[in-house]
Amino acid sequence: MTGEVSPDSPPGSSGLPAGPVSRGELRASHTDRDAVVELLRVAAGDGRLTSDELDERLEVALTARTYSELAALTADLPAAPGAAGLAPGPAPEPREVVRMRVTSGNAQRNGRWVVPQRMECAVTSGNIKLDFTEAVLTGPVVRIDADVRSGNITIVTRPGVVVDADDVSIGSGNVKVRSPWAPGVPEILRVEVTGRVRSGNITARPPRRNLWQWLTRAPRPYAAAIGPPR
């Protein structure tokens, strides 16, 4: 009968695992593969991978079966969003809440900072900058409670980071969200901003070019990886 397995068949011959499997050997989904493909394209746009390396890794990513196969493709790339979820080891433990209060001056989170579950950002006079371009993502959503009395909160995004600021109450000021990423880029983090702006600004934008990149007319960060808007 079709599908029967002989008692003498070796373990695993039925297509089933012979025993418990490690996290790295868990089967990857289409969403997992798509996320790694996007990471590789971004890395190529940053100049971290040559075109040949990109082609080679994309071929492996599209046919990868397990988390460990996907994790190997981004192991040598810094700030790989979502890589913690693909790696066999445990993901970094995020703080439940991070509170940032600025009465005069500047505060920022940049580089490889671990994104918490929730943030409370209060600005009386000054600036808060949250740069997600190299942040370590540990969950699909981060909630930001903003209180801007006079000053600015700037959120710097990267492909897959979506900012929702529709629930911010505005007294006197501005809330601007730029969504530069082309349709079809997998969402890796949703930033939900609530609170109020009494006098000041909340701005969400992509990374800016430095002076040398601007003078040499280099593409905007991530533009080469994503391509022109459709």
pLDDT band at 225 (very low <50, low <70, confident <90, very high): very low
Q: Are residues 152 and 121 in contact, defined by beta-carbon separation less than 8 angstroms?
A: no
114 and 188, same structural domain?
A: yes
Residues 142, 101 within the same domain: yes
160 falls within a domain: yes
Q: 196 with 150, same domain?
A: yes
The predicted-structure confidence for 85-134, as pLDDT tens digits, reads as follows 444 445 567 889 999 999 989 999 998 899 999 999 999 999 999 999 88
Domain assignment present for 189: yes
User: Which residue's entry shows tokens 């009386």?
Assistant: 124
Q: How many domains does the chain have?
A: 2
Residue written as tokens 């971290």?
48
Please tell me whether residues 65 and 160 are part of one structural domain.
Answer: no
Quick one: angle between helices 67-74 and 30-45, nearest 10? 10
Residues 175, 119 share a domain: yes
Q: Of the candidates 86, 110, 134, which is a domain's last residue?
A: 86
Q: What is the pTM of this model?
A: 0.59
- Please check whether residues 127 and 180 belong to one and the same domain: yes
Residue 5 lies in a domain: no
Regarding whether 42 and 127 lie in a shared domain, the answer is no
pLDDT tens string 61-70: 889 888 888 8
Extended beta strands in 45-104, E state? 97-102
d(CA 162, CA 111): 19
| 103 and 195 together in one domain | yes
Question: Residue 149 has what pLDDT?
Answer: 93
- Residues 197 and 103 grouped into a single domain: yes
Q: How far apart are CA 156 and CA 178, in angstroms?
A: 10
**Quick one: 49 and 114 in the same domain?**
no
Same domain flag for 30 and 78: yes
pLDDT at 131: 94
Per the CB < 8 A criterion, the answer to whether 138 and 166 are in contact is no
DSSP 3-state of 204: strand
Range in 19-23, 93-97, 199-203, 222-226 the model is least confident about: 222-226
Whether 11 is in a domain gets the answer no
Token pair of 126, please? 């000054």
Q: Does 6 reside within a domain? A: no
| Residues 180, 204: Cα–Cα separation, whole Å | 10
Please indicate, yes or no, if residue 81 is contained in any of the structural domains. Answer: yes
Domain carrying residue 105:
97-205
**Would you say residue 92 lies in a domain?**
no
How confident is the prediction for the chain on average, in pLDDT?
A: 79
Asked whether the predicted pLDDT for residue 162 surpasses 70, the reply is yes
Q: Which residue has the higher pLDDT, 61 or 145?
A: 145
Domain co-membership, 39 together with 108: no
Q: Is residue 17 part of a domain?
A: no
Q: Which residue in this structure is represented by tokens 């012979």?
A: 18
Q: Is the dihedral of CA 162, 129, 74, 39 positive or negative?
A: positive
Q: Say how many CA atoms lie within 13 Å of 2 toward its Cβ.
A: 0
Q: What is the pLDDT of residues 10-30, one digit of tens each?
A: 555 556 666 565 656 788 888
Distances in whole angstroms, Cα of residue 160 to Cα of each of 22, 53, 188:
28, 23, 5
